[in-house]
Amino acid sequence: MRPPRARDDLRDAWTFPFPGLSIARSPPEERPTFWTRALGDPPDVYGERLRARDDSFWRAIDPFRSKLGAALCKGLRVLPIPPRARVLYLGGATGTTASHVADLVGRKGAVYVVEKSPRSFQRLLGVARRWPNLYPLLADAREPRSYLPWVPPADTLYMDIAQPEQIDLALTHAKLYLRPGGGLLLALKMPSLRRGRPGEDLLGPAVKELSRAFELTRPIPLEPFHRGHHFLTGVYRGRE
């Protein structure tokens, strides 16, 4: 699809908060929109807004559809998804966020997307046909060795699978796939963690457990975009 010419008012209003990454931010300040430069053609995946700039289409990350988009709106400062990165993405669903991640790593990067639901996988395949760097895998993240032959060592691990064993799976996947110094992005669904007593703190123990292997930043609550979710980022210290 041929992008129309950029509008000057948009050109002036945009900022690039992550140097070196193709992610832009537009006003208003109280509810900014974040945009990634579309690599796929045609560029829209889930009906997201599109804008033209610098001869490309840019795609708005809908914070109600994408936890990454929500975390950005809530002040995420660390985004370990640089150009050329190899990302292992667990819980790709229909490719909403995975396609934005693929935009970020660019043509020389790669995103290996694990999804266990055949129905979602069908739609993910449609996205993979348009994004040259998105590799879908129909697999269960509870069997992390099952895709070892297809996934090379990763620079970044992105997880959004809403499973009770989210923390264990993050640690196991890091051990198997993530290079020391690699990045973690984790959408943690509190209700999916083991059932606690009413009012019991589940986030604290989860963070403590993850801290064994990762240097973590402060968890970001994703309200009002996603109830009961926190977003965590971290740097992998390497195998214990």
* CB neighbour burial string for 198-236, b if at least 16 within 10 angstroms, e if fewer: eeeebeeebbeebeebbebeebbbbeebbeebbbbbbbb
Question: What's the sign of the alpha-carbon dihedral 3, 9, 12, 13?
Answer: negative
Decide whether 7 or 194 has the Cβ nearer to ligand SAM.
194
Q: Measuring CA to CA, which residue among 29, 5, 6 is closest to residue 17?
A: 29
Q: Are strands 214-216 and 229-236 parallel, antiparallel or unpaired?
A: antiparallel
Please tell me whether residue 163 binds ligand SAM under the rule CB under 6 A.
yes
Smallest distance from the beta carbon of 223 to ligand SAM, in angstroms? 16
Taking residues 190 to 229 in sequence order and writing x for each that binds ligand SAM by CB under 6 A, - otherwise, the string is: ----------------------------------------
Decide: is 96 part of the binding site for ligand SAM (CB under 6 A): yes
Tell me: does residue 156 bind ligand SAM (CB under 6 A): no
Q: Does 160 bind ligand SAM (CB under 6 A)?
A: yes
172 near ligand SAM, judged by CB under 6 A:
no
Q: Where are the beta strands (DSSP E) in 11-77?
A: 23-26, 33-37, 50-53, 56-60
Task: Decide whether 53 or 165 has the Cβ nearer to ligand SAM.
Answer: 165
Binding positions for ligand SAM, rule: CB under 6 A: 66-67, 91, 93, 96-97, 114-117, 120, 140-142, 160-163
